[in-house]
Amino acid sequence: MKVIVYMPPTLGASLLALPCLKSLQANLPEAEIYLLLSPPFEQLFSIILPEYHRLPLTETKDITRLRRAANQLKKMNFDLGFLLDHSFTSALLFYLARLPERWGYDHEGRGFMLSRKFTVKVTDPPTHLKDYYLNLLKKAGFSQESNFPGLTVSSHYLHQADKILRAHGLVTDRPIIAIKPGSSFGRACLWPVHHQIELINRLSDKSWQIILVGSTGSREVSQEILRNLKPEVVDLVGQLELADMPGILTHCRAFIGTDSGLTHLANFLGVPVVSLFGPTDPETRSPVLSPASIIKKRVPCSPCSYRACPYDHRCLNNIQPDEVYQAIKSYIKA
């Protein structure tokens, strides 16, 4: 049996779908499972989930390219298409590829293209994204694996990460703390720079090594932090491939970030995480494994899911550096 899973479009959602993938594999142990992924995630998933086949999602923004992609899938003779993406286009792709079975949630009027469609009532309480994906299996009649052990990284990639860290003057026998200073979600999900600077100063007093990580989208924030810092901090923002991050994070003793894909990656790798929530809801998107500290302030306008705060950003402004420092300190005894 050949199964193709259309993965969610964002890194965080794709990672929160991992327990669902593991349960699917447990239910279909003889199946060949392929993951249809956004191209930037393909190499990362080859490292963290080497047991799965991977296909890069080609451009499908116009009907010509969509048909071309569908024809490529059709030639691979899949028996089942499992949709973890909500878009109309994802269901249309599987429909045009004439997959015999196409299962997914009925969103955006795409139910007529699904051989089995599942619904979520508007009146249903919000559920964590991990459970939302797992419930799709339950609705399909499959069992759910209750325990997800997390991810591991092979010695090859750990060695590569060690070389990167040493090239930047870091040593692995002293605690390394990773901070993601920016957010691809938008400025509303950015913990204020002056709070980050105060925290880094306190962490540096303990002789802990600090690295800043993230994509080029966080570069402006990391540069602002560095301009106002006295302690030596290693800025790796925009300098690493996403595929480098599992090895780098595994060498860290703690990770600090807002709601982001790297936060979930660190969490699934077993790194103690301090996750700061502002405009997004930890009830639906928080890290799922221990150890993890979730810090969120109760304010009347949160969660709002705005990318830019129209008010005074109090949800994240009110999270004080000392709270984050104490959480990190509890994880690092050395």
pLDDT tens-digit readout, 220-257: 999 999 998 877 899 999 999 999 999 999 999 999 99
For 297, other C-beta atoms within 10 Å of its C-beta total 16
For 220, other C-beta atoms within 10 Å of its C-beta total 12
Q: Same domain, yes or no, for 295 and 172?
A: yes
Q: Same domain, yes or no, for 325 and 182?
A: yes
What's the pLDDT at 261?
95
Q: How far apart are CA 225 and CA 196, in angstroms?
A: 8
Amino acid at 64: T
- The range of the structural domain enclosing residue 38 comes to 2-139
Q: For the domain that residue 103 is a member of, what is the CATH number?
A: 3.40.50.2000
- Do the domain assignments include residue 145? no
- Do the domain assignments include residue 317? yes
SS3 for the chain is CEEEEECCCCHHHHHHCHHHHHHHHHHCCCCEEEEEECHHHHHHHHHHCCCCEEEECCCCCCHHHHHHHHHHHHCCCCCEEEECCCCHHHHHHHHHCCCCEEEEECCCCCHHHCCEEECCCCCCCCCCHHHHHHHHHHHCCCCCCCCCCCCCCCHHHHHHHHHHHHHCCCCCCCCEEEECCCCCCCHHHCCCHHHHHHHHHHHHHCCCEEEECCCHHHHHHHHHHHHCCCCCCEECCCCCCHHHHHHHHHCCCEEEEECCHHHHHHHHCCCCEEEEECCCCHHHHCCCCCCEEEEECCCCCCCCCCCCCCCCCHHHHCCCHHHHHHHHHHHCCC
What's the pLDDT at 172?
86
Count the domains in the chain.
2
Rg of the chain, C-alpha, whole Å: 21
How would you write the pLDDT of the chain (334 residues) with one tens digit per residue?
Answer: 999 999 999 999 999 999 999 999 999 999 999 999 999 999 999 999 999 999 998 888 889 999 999 999 999 999 999 999 999 999 999 999 999 999 999 988 999 999 999 998 877 788 999 999 999 999 999 988 767 889 999 999 999 999 999 999 999 889 999 999 988 777 778 899 999 999 999 998 888 999 999 999 889 999 999 998 877 899 999 999 999 999 999 999 999 999 999 999 999 999 999 999 989 899 999 999 999 999 999 888 888 888 888 788 889 989 999 999 999 999 997 5
Q: Same domain, yes or no, for 182 and 308?
A: yes
Entry pTM: 0.95
Contact of 240 with 224, CB cutoff 8 Å:
no
Q: Same domain, yes or no, for 159 and 133?
A: no
- Do the domain assignments include residue 150? no
Contact of 290 with 273, CB cutoff 8 Å:
no
Q: Same domain, yes or no, for 45 and 79?
A: yes
- Do the domain assignments include residue 149? no
Q: Same domain, yes or no, for 175 and 255?
A: yes
What's the pLDDT at 334?
52
Cα separations in angstroms, 99 against 83, 84, 87, 95? 12, 16, 17, 6
Sheet holding 209-212: strands in order across? 234-235, 209-212, 176-179, 254-258, 273-277, 292-296
